[in-house]
Amino acid sequence: MNMLVDGEWRTDAGEYTDDDGSFERQETTFRDWIRDDPDARFQPEAGRYHLYVSYACPWAHRTLVTRALLGLEDAISVSVVDPYRDEDGWQFTPEKEGCTADPILEADYLREVYVAADPDVTGRVSVPVLWDREEETIVNNESREIMRMLATAFDDLAENDIDLAPEDRREEIDDILDTIYEPINNGVYRAGFATEQEPYDAAVDDLFAALDHWDDVLADQRYLAGDRFTEADIAMFTTLVRFDNVYHTHFMCNVQYVREYANLWPYLRDLYQTPGVADTVNMDHITEHYYTTHPDVNPHRIVARGPDLAFDAPHDRDGLEGESPTGRQEASVDD
């Protein structure tokens, strides 16, 4: 495992799996909050915050989708790291298509941003990272919490009138986020990084039992929480959109393709076609990252070629109760 230990970069800091070969995800390090409160240390202000992301990472992708749906592109700037991550970690390579420089610290590696926030930091250097220009520190690097902050604290700055976490539905949304996290969002990693048969089998069983369950649920409702597009759908989307191209092959989640599901596949197309969402998907970065960054899984770093999925094909879910967020389309009409 490559990580920072007391502010120093280490490439020998341990393994991703425990003694029985099960994948263990480490906790994130920075957990402060932006609040619309005059007494809060971190308050929502246009131009104050900056997101560090990878198009390849499903956790970072969550924050990009949230930012796009809310119309926060002008309020919160973004830097994109290289999809290839070697032993030096996430790198800024602005000369590469789809990647950017770091305008905040002019760093070469994302780990420099972590050390700038805390010179003695210990932990993995992961994306997303939400940086505060005013305090010159990292606010948060936990994707679910960043999603919630963007959805609840930036109402006055959002260009689109969309509520992804209605207050009266948050308990339900949080329950769904909890329910899909371990078997689906993290389940593909539990399968892909398992080093023994038993934990791999358990992960795959959990994964496809959960996918089967939600396929049944989505037969009668448009979104995971019923008639409302919420954060839960974003969290499901960033896993499903990678599934057939990456997780099915690279992580050995090959019981079934998402495109073979009667309801998950049109549901995925419905989400993809929501205005603003497709622009956040970079399949080239996704496939390059997964197939070249895990040599223990794919030692020859050969990037699988397909499939070429028709995310733009009609989804025929308009007849179910609930309307798709109009997002950018609504904003353009109001202008």
Q: What is the pLDDT of residues 45-86, one digit of tens each?
A: 999 999 999 999 999 999 999 999 999 999 999 999 999 999
User: Would residue 95 count as lying in a domain?
Assistant: yes
Q: Residues 255, 181: one domain?
A: yes
Q: What is the pLDDT of residues 210-269, one digit of tens each?
A: 999 999 999 999 999 999 999 999 999 999 999 999 999 999 999 999 999 999 999 999
> Is 188 known as a binding-site position?
no
Q: Residues 152, 172: one domain?
A: no
Averaged over 162-173, what is the pLDDT? 97
Q: What is the pLDDT of residues 13-43, one digit of tens each?
A: 766 667 777 767 677 789 999 999 999 999 9
> Is 124 known as a binding-site position?
yes
Residue % of the chain over a pLDDT of 70: 95
Q: Residues 175, 271: one domain?
A: yes
Averaged over 177-188, what is the pLDDT? 98
Spatial CA neighbour of 71 closest among 281, 296, 222, 275: 275
Q: Residues 106, 195: one domain?
A: no
> Is 90 known as a binding-site position?
yes
Work out whether the CA dihedral 323, 329, 331, 335 comes out positive or negative: negative
Give residue for tokens 């909050």.
33
Q: Residues 9, 137: one domain?
A: yes
Res. 330: pLDDT tops 90: no
Per-residue confidence (pLDDT) for residue 197, from 0 to 100 = 97
> Is 77 known as a binding-site position?
no
Q: What are phi and psi of 12, to 5 degrees?
A: -135, 40
Instruction: Return the CATH number at 262.
Output: 1.20.1050.10
> Is 143 known as a binding-site position?
yes
Averaged over 138-152, what is the pLDDT? 98
Least confident of 25-34, 160-169, 306-315, 326-335: 326-335
Q: Residues 216, 119: one domain?
A: no
Total-model pTM: 0.94
Instruction: Return the CATH number at 32.
Output: 3.40.30.10
Catalytically active residues are 57, 189
User: Would residue 327 count as lying in a domain?
Assistant: no
Task: Give the list of residues 6+ apart from residue 323 with CB closer than 8 angstroms, or none.
Answer: 227
Q: Residues 144, 198: one domain?
A: no
Spatial CA neighbour of 9 closest among 108, 175, 124, 155: 124
Write out the residue range of the structural domain in which residue 80 sits.
Answer: 3-157
Question: Beta partners for 89?
Answer: 86
CA distance 320 to 335: 29
Q: Residues 242, 260: one domain?
A: yes
Spatial CA neighbour of 103 closest among 89, 95, 113, 90: 113
Q: Residues 12, 146: one domain?
A: yes
Q: In the chain, at which residue ranges do the beta strands (DSSP E only) sit?
A: 3-5, 8-10, 49-53, 77-80, 129-132, 137-140
User: Would residue 210 count as lying in a domain?
Assistant: yes
Give the CA distances from residue 71 to residues 75, 79, 236, in Å, rounded to whole numbers and listed in that order.
Answer: 8, 17, 20
Q: Residues 153, 12: one domain?
A: yes
